[in-house]
Amino acid sequence: MTRLALRGDLLDFTGLPDLGDVDSPAVRFRPDHWLLVEDGRIVAVQAEAPGEDWPREDRRGQLILPGFVDTHVHCPQLDVIASFGTTLLDWLQTYTFPAEQRFADPAVARVGAELFLDALLAHGTTSAVVFPTVHAVSADALFEAASVRGMRIITGKVLMDRHAPAGLRDDVAGAQRDCEAQIARWHGQGRNAFAVTVRFAVTSTPEQLAMAGGLLQRHEGLYMQTHVAENLDEVRWVQELFPQARSYLDVYHQHGLLNERSVLAHGIWLDDADRALLRDTGAHIAFCPSSNLFLGSGLFNWAEARAVGHGVSMATDVGGGTSLSMLRTLAEAYKVQALRGTRMTAWAGLHAATLGAAQALGLAHELGALEPGRLADLCVWDWASGPVAAHRDAVATGQVAPLPAQSLHARVFAWMTLADERNLSAAYVAGQARWQRPAPIPAKV
């Protein structure tokens, strides 16, 4: 049996915080507590030190959170992150499609998957819903690399049989064969799960969408991931391609693609009927603020999503998004909501990136909270990195006279807004340290 006792300031959630409630009862902050992990699972959380037979890691003065869950991110797009000057449809043609062709090569796919998953861990993300490319090898490589690291990964080869360059198109029969083979090989193996991955309505024929719906019907427990209503030109194109559909989202509904394991990225240009459809089918939106700003796509309306009652998780959407850091993403989310007239608390943001995502994916029994029975997917963070954040944290904790100490929310909000991967001290997956900040090189004397 392997054991580990971790000591630090524990922060997680027991329910859904209201978007604007700084005093939310759903917040659970347990300063200077011990988290006991046995064989990869959390077995206890307590204020008292454990017995001498527990190997200890004393992280006093550091923050421990459940590992972040990035519910929408593209592995092959590290090649095109931070590319200049385009909006969605141009960006796909100019940068993204050419880059994704490289992943036809199994060696490129393998190295790309390893680089990508190690980068996720180095940013404090321990689970993800990932787009590979149309090539089956790119999804196989992700499943293989995730298995080695013990990470919960949801992915599947991308479906696209039109409106894409030749090297990036499949066909209905070949795609179905590849998907069936991946389901048999990977779905439910360890922490791997297969997602029927429709790139977006533009790049699949109705026949391919019907095939995708058939996969979901025949195989219990598959996920579905896609993009929806991200950009106005895209929305108009979908209207032209599917004139019978009531809306962009309805295209997916008509093909049997919406259920409680469907993750739809963006969802900026939806109406209330679409939101009700999301709620009624149990599908949810991955909010991608960094990408939505970078590509000039629009401002997601989280308050309306809450009013109707469908789920929202948080996602980087790299390479449309400009960072794998969920903390930077949350800082952007706050600003987007501010432009919408809503003040998003740190609680609402951090919940969506942890327990909220786990619940939206039906994985709350496994991850997303610092709770006995869950796997120990968690990260240790510094409260501050650099002089500005250190000063701001000192103000929040009342160490700068004569300023009084501030609320817990004020402190955590400043952390969420100022922190990024430089604050990460260690990332654990199922109780094993999979990333640790390298020790500083000692100065020569």
Residue ranges that bind ligand GUN, judged by CB under 6 A: 74, 88, 92, 96, 199-200, 227, 230, 291, 317, 320
Quick one: 88 or 146, whose CB is closer to ligand GUN? 88
Quick one: 231 or 385, whose CB is closer to ligand GUN? 231
Quick one: 62 or 313, whose CB is closer to ligand GUN? 313
Least spacing, CB of residue 284 vs ligand GUN, in Å: 17
d(CA 436, CA 433): 7
Contacts of 240 (CB under 8 A, 6+ apart): none
Give alpha helix (H) positions in 150-271: 172-186, 206-218, 232-241, 248-254
Quick one: 123 or 199, whose CB is closer to ligand GUN? 199
Find the binder of Zn ion among 12, 161, 317, 366 (CB under 5 A).
317
Least spacing, CB of residue 107 vs ligand GUN, in Å: 23
x-or-dash pattern for Zn ion, window 241-270, by CB under 5 A? ------------------------x-----
Q: Are strands 56-66 and 378-381 parallel, antiparallel or unpaired?
A: antiparallel
Quick one: 20 or 298, whose CB is closer to ligand GUN? 298
Measure Cα distances from 2 to 131, 302, 339, 349, 443 in Å. Answer: 34, 42, 48, 33, 36
Q: Looking at beta carbons, which residue is closest to Zn ion?
A: 317
b/e string for 424-439 if b means 16 or more Cβ within 10 A? Answer: bbbbbbbbeebbeeee
Nearest to 58 by CA among 28, 33, 37: 33
Quick one: 274 or 317, whose CB is closer to Zn ion? 317
Contact present, 132 and 154 (Cβ < 8 Å): no
Contacts of 284 (CB under 8 A, 6+ apart): 262, 263, 264, 278, 310, 311, 312, 313, 360
Least spacing, CB of residue 299 vs Zn ion, in Å: 17
Ramachandran region, residue 190 (left: φ > 0; alpha: ψ -120 to 50; beta: rest): left
Does residue number 382 form part of the binding site for Zn ion (CB under 5 A)? no
Least spacing, CB of residue 167 vs Zn ion, in Å: 20
Least spacing, CB of residue 295 vs ligand GUN, in Å: 6
Quick one: 234 or 317, whose CB is closer to Zn ion? 317
Site for Zn ion in 282-311 (CB under 5 A): none
Cβ count within 10 A of residue 168: 22
The stretch among 31-39, 77-85, 166-174, 312-320 that binds Zn ion (CB under 5 A) is 312-320
Q: Which residue shows structure tokens 């559909």?
A: 245
- Distance linking the first and last C-alpha atoms of the chain: 43
Tell me which of Zn ion, ligand GUN, none is bound by residue 434, counting a contact when its beta carbon lies within the kind-specific cut-off of 5 to 8 angstroms: none
Least spacing, CB of residue 374 vs ligand GUN, in Å: 31
Q: Which residue shows structure tokens 């689970």?
A: 127
Tell me which of ligand GUN, Zn ion, none is bound by residue 199, counting a contact when its beta carbon lies within the kind-specific cut-off of 5 to 8 angstroms: ligand GUN
84, burial (CB in 10 Å: exposed 0-12, middle 13-18, buried 19+): exposed
Least spacing, CB of residue 230 vs Zn ion, in Å: 8
> Which amino acid would we find at residue 93?
Q
Least spacing, CB of residue 199 vs ligand GUN, in Å: 5
Judged by the rule CB under 5 A, the positions of this chain that interact with Zn ion are: 265, 317
